[in-house]
Amino acid sequence: MLLLTEPPVAPLAALAGFAGIAVLTALLFWPRRGLVARALRFTRRSDRVLLEDAIKQLYHAESAGRPGTIESLAGGLEESRASAVRLVERLAEMGLVRAEEGQVALTPAGRDHALRLVRAHRLWERYLADRTGVLPAEWHEQAEVVEHVLSKTEAEALSARMNHPRYDPHGDPIPTQTGELPLRAGSPLSAHRPGEALSVVHLEDEPRESFERLLALGLTPGTSLRLLSVAPTEVAFRFDGRDHTLPPVVADQISVEPLADEQEIDDVPRATLAELRPGGSARVIRIAAHCQGQARRRLLDLGIVPGGLIESEYASPGGDPVAYRIRGALIALRRSQAELIQVEVVAPAEAMV
């Protein structure tokens, strides 16, 4: 069973926590048998990985209402048509697909297997987002490997340790242990009316270049924005008090739904702690929504919470990091960390850069 431990809070808990970390480390990194070693063995596409990738691609096609074909399978897997034909023949022999009238469809057994892969993939992305410092752009690629080696028992233990999350960090629903799939709400950003207040429910993580572009803006599921305009060449919206534009093909990787009537968007541009000059004081408004997992917990543990007062003391010779006084303690933060903290200045305006 895959064990995941929380930071210790007392001597006995510390001892237990250390033991838990040791067990987790062994499970992850044990030579030849650990999860990482098992994942590395599957880095090269073995027959099993190809078969499972084919099942998963057919599942995603069916979920999107697209028919599966030999040609679409070959293109998606970047394999030759002959290789795709052999894969379908193997899967049909295993009772996982049926091929008829030029189309390839999953059988109930094939769909169950695909859901197990999707569950492992999305659980691992949720784990990386919430419990590690792995960059968001790396979540998908790592999960693409781990999904093939995470056992059903390990997946259930991982899910239980995270209180059975319903969605991955991109907003995709995580299949339950019994194969039930929560509904994914939302529609493409450009399908809405300019002026609408919207909530992000999903960010498509492929292609990676477009996903990284969305991440760079600070977008994440659960955050709010206001659609400003939709044109053939660009989609404009306001997020965190700043205006942004994206090509429609990239903007439509953002799925949104209307905010409830009583909810409002804070359209006021906010400064970040990185803009506070030495000697200035500011009050914390919030930590940026895209700051997740360990990075967010680290800031909260330092006492950086909404309403808290922070004073900028002095910068290092190179200007980065900067020392801030937080709850009476002197804390050094790098600019990249300070940029995640939105503040309202409480000293004169000249206190801001």
270/241 Cα distance (integer angstroms)? 7
pLDDT at 183: 78
CA R_g for the chain: 24
* Total residue count of the chain as it appears in this document: 353
The CATH superfamily assigned to 187-258 is Ferrous iron transport protein A (FeoA) (2.30.30.90)
* Contact indicator for 255, 200 with CB cutoff of 8 Å: yes
Contacts with 66 (C-beta within 8 Å, 6 or more apart), sequence order: 72
Contacts with 112 (C-beta within 8 Å, 6 or more apart), sequence order: 179
pTM of the model: 0.70
Q: Do domains 31-184 and 271-351 have the same CATH topology?
A: no
Contacts with 37 (C-beta within 8 Å, 6 or more apart), sequence order: 29, 30, 31
Class of domain 31-184: mainly alpha
* Residue-level pLDDT, tens digit, the chain, 353 residues: 333 333 333 444 444 554 555 555 555 555 555 555 555 554 455 889 999 999 999 999 998 889 899 999 999 999 999 999 999 999 999 999 999 888 999 999 999 999 999 999 999 999 998 888 788 889 999 999 999 999 999 999 999 999 999 999 888 999 999 988 887 778 999 999 999 999 999 999 888 889 989 988 888 888 889 999 999 999 999 987 788 999 999 999 999 999 876 566 666 667 889 989 898 999 998 888 777 778 888 888 888 888 889 999 999 888 889 999 998 889 999 998 998 888 888 865 455 55
209 — alpha (psi -120 to 50), left (phi > 0) or beta? alpha
**Buried b / exposed e along 219-239 (16+ C-beta atoms within 10 A):** bbbebbbbbeebeeeebbbbb
C-beta pairs of 191-197 under 8 Å, 24+ apart in sequence = 192/227, 192/256, 192/258, 193/227, 194/227, 194/228, 194/229, 194/230, 195/226, 195/227, 195/228, 196/226, 196/227, 196/258, 197/224, 197/225, 197/226, 197/258, 197/259, 197/263, 197/264, 197/265
* Contact indicator for 163, 156 with CB cutoff of 8 Å: no
| Burial of 319: CB neighbours in 10 Å, binned 0-12, 13-18, 19+ | exposed
What is the DSSP track for 154-222?
HHHHHHHHTT--SB-TTSPBPP-TTS-------EEGGGSPTT-EEEEEEE---SHHHHHHHHHHT--TT
The CATH superfamily assigned to 271-351 is Ferrous iron transport protein A (FeoA) (2.30.30.90)
pLDDT at 232: 93
The secondary structure of residue 66, as a DSSP letter, is: P
Tokens representing residue 263 in the block:
């909810």
Among all chains, which residue has been given the structure tokens 């009772």?
95
Domain limits, the chain:
31-184, 187-258, 271-351
Contacts with 188 (C-beta within 8 Å, 6 or more apart), sequence order: 251, 252, 254, 255, 256
Rounded to a whole number of angstroms, the distance between the first and last alpha carbons of the chain is 51
Tokens representing residue 161 in the block:
């340790």
Q: In Å, what is the CA distance from 321 to each residue of 68, 152, 274, 302, 346?
A: 53, 44, 10, 16, 22
